Amino acid sequence: MNNLEKVINDIENSISSNIPLIYIETEEHKRGMLIIKDIAEKLSINNLLSWSEFTGIIDINKEEEVSKETNFKKMIEFVSKEKRKSLLIIKNLHNFMKDDENVSALLGMIDDITQKDLPIIIITLSTIMKIPQDIAQYVNYFELPYPTREEITVMLDKTLQDNNMDLDKVTKSFFIESLNGLSEDQVLLMIYSAIGKAFYENRFIDNNDVEAIIKQKRQIINKSGVIEAIDNDSFNFDDIGGLDNLKAWMENRKKVFSNMSKAKEWGVIPPRGLFLFGMPGVGKSLTSKVIASYYNLPLLKLDMALIFGAKEPEAAARLALRLTTAVAPCILWIDEVEKAFAGTEAGTVGNDTAMRVFGQILTWMEENKAPVLTVASANDISNIRGELIRRFDEMFFVDFPSKTSEVKSIFEVHLRRKLGEKRKWYVDDLDYNAIHKRMRQIVKRYGGEEEAGYAGSDIEKIVKEVLNSAYTSGIEKIKTRHFIQKITEVRPQRGDVIAKMKSEALKMDAILA
């Protein structure tokens, strides 16, 4: 049984066992309605009443208006006279629960159902799960999952057949993969648009059409306003300099992440959460992006600012997590987690909403069965409670590069990124011992403390400025001394925050990258 079949089955069981109120959270009202119709038919319930404030009460099977009543309370009174076994479908129930009179009317009906055998089951299709405390105890709650790969395959096959078209196996599986994580309407729209385009052009659906779909899909996900699908092709594994432990971790798990079903057969459970913390510019965001491209998985970015900017942060977070589950296997990236906790103090109750939303994400991380690796990063953990971070299976403290080999490797990444093949023509073999020595001297001078240092982003800046100056002043081959000179001009990062974070990291047993 797939996810959707299971949900349908559970809804059916709830109706059979006379649960008075069934709450289905979905943005897809049409699809929800069709599902309810199917269940009703199976259970031989013929009276299906749907109500909204705009349409009044409608008999769905007869497709006719039963009452013009647009007032919630009066509608409840009206339907409460019903003698036949009926389903009452209310759209967006949460909109009417701000009014105490409506709440009591609904409670009254629930009472009649449970105590007086009123033969009605109330079902709501709502975009948000929100219900008053008094009513919550009578509710069975469901989330309508997005179409599964199997459902998408059926939709695609049918449309192809109807249009007398065929699709080679590889393109087809790629196509289906790219439609994953969209609502049924959106899937159909994409299929029609690809077929329409192919029909017009050459009667074939090819990789170009599928690429176009992936682009459109990215836009659709981005339009959700709660999560962002990131194009992660621009960075790869070799773009990370230093961070050997972290890279070894990534390499180690590549086999697991690139074939999750196989790993599962062997009883290998992929890690669900990775937490990276350390000073700004050390490569946390970079690493998060590289993880996605290295494992060849889609990268979804959960922006805490967007979530907390939403009218209902918890609902926004839930929508984001639902989308993520639908897109899985994928990487969920929560960058700069500390922003959610800004202005709250560790050890205190803090910002309730931030705690609740973050708790929601952690619970989802533990409970959701879809293969998702959540990668969170923070520049500052002083306002985040340690126990939240410890719920991630893996934690890395990302330090400034401290060994000469690490410094060298970051310099070389940026020389290669900027100059490519021409690196060896324009730049001498550099003396990294001398370069690193100068960096340490400057750190001492500015930072004063042991823990201060240059981040990867500072090294990137040094490389950029050396190349700029060399070009402007017409130097043909850049030498070690040019770098040593520039280092003097770029200020390293201060060390007090990092010293604190380092001691936290040791306490938490976070592997030092």
Is residue 376 at the binding interface for ligand ADP, with CB under 6 A as the rule? no
Is residue 404 at the binding interface for ligand ADP, with CB under 6 A as the rule? no
- Smallest gap, in angstroms, from Cβ of residue 45 to Mg ion? 54
- Smallest gap, in angstroms, from Cβ of residue 499 to ligand ADP? 17
The region of 35-43, 204-212, 218-226, 283-291 touching ligand ADP under the rule CB under 6 A is 283-291
CA pair distance 299, 221, nearest whole angstrom: 12
Q: Which is nearer to Mg ion, 284 or 438 (CB)?
A: 284
Q: Give the one residue of 180, 285, 344, 383 binding Mg ion; rule: CB under 5 A.
A: 285
- Smallest gap, in angstroms, from Cβ of residue 288 to ligand ADP? 8
Q: Give the one residue of 457, 469, 480, 485 binding ligand ADP; rule: CB under 6 A.
A: 457
Exposure string over 488-500, b if 16+ CB within 10 A, otherwise e: eeeebbbbebbee
CA pair distance 396, 380, nearest whole angstrom: 13
Cβ neighbours of residue 299 closer than 8 Å, sequence gap 6 or more: 229, 230, 232, 288, 289, 292, 293, 330, 331, 333
413 binds, among Mg ion, ligand ADP, none (CB under 5 to 8 A by kind): ligand ADP
CB 351 within 8 A of CB 307: no
Question: Hey, is 263 helix, strand or coil?
Answer: helix
The region of 124-132, 184-192, 278-286, 500-508 touching Mg ion under the rule CB under 5 A is 278-286
**Which DSSP letter does residue 204 get?**
-
CA pair distance 247, 236, nearest whole angstrom: 12
241 binds, among Mg ion, ligand ADP, none (CB under 5 to 8 A by kind): ligand ADP
How many residues touch ligand ADP under the rule CB under 6 A: the total is: 17
**Which DSSP letter does residue 164 get?**
T
Q: Give the one residue of 240, 290, 372, 384 binding ligand ADP; rule: CB under 6 A.
A: 240
Element housing 22 (H / E)? strand 21-25
Q: Which is nearer to Mg ion, 278 or 447 (CB)?
A: 278
Q: Which is nearer to Mg ion, 414 or 482 (CB)?
A: 414
Restricting to residues 458-477, which ones interact with ligand ADP according to CB under 6 A?
Answer: 460
Q: What is the largest CA-CA distance in the chain?
A: 93
Q: Give the one residue of 286, 337, 466, 510 binding ligand ADP; rule: CB under 6 A.
A: 286
The region of 62-70, 173-181, 280-288, 435-443 touching Mg ion under the rule CB under 5 A is 280-288
Q: Using alpha carbons, select from 30, 26, 19, 13 the residue that is nearest to residue 93.
A: 26
Q: How far is CA 383 from CA 81, 91, 380, 404, 502, in A?
A: 56, 40, 8, 33, 15
Cβ neighbours of residue 338 closer than 8 Å, sequence gap 6 or more: 378, 379, 380, 381, 383, 384
Q: Which spans of this chain sit near Mg ion (rule: CB under 5 A)?
A: 284-285
Q: Which spans of this chain sit near ligand ADP (rule: CB under 6 A)?
A: 240-243, 280-286, 379, 410, 413, 456-457, 460
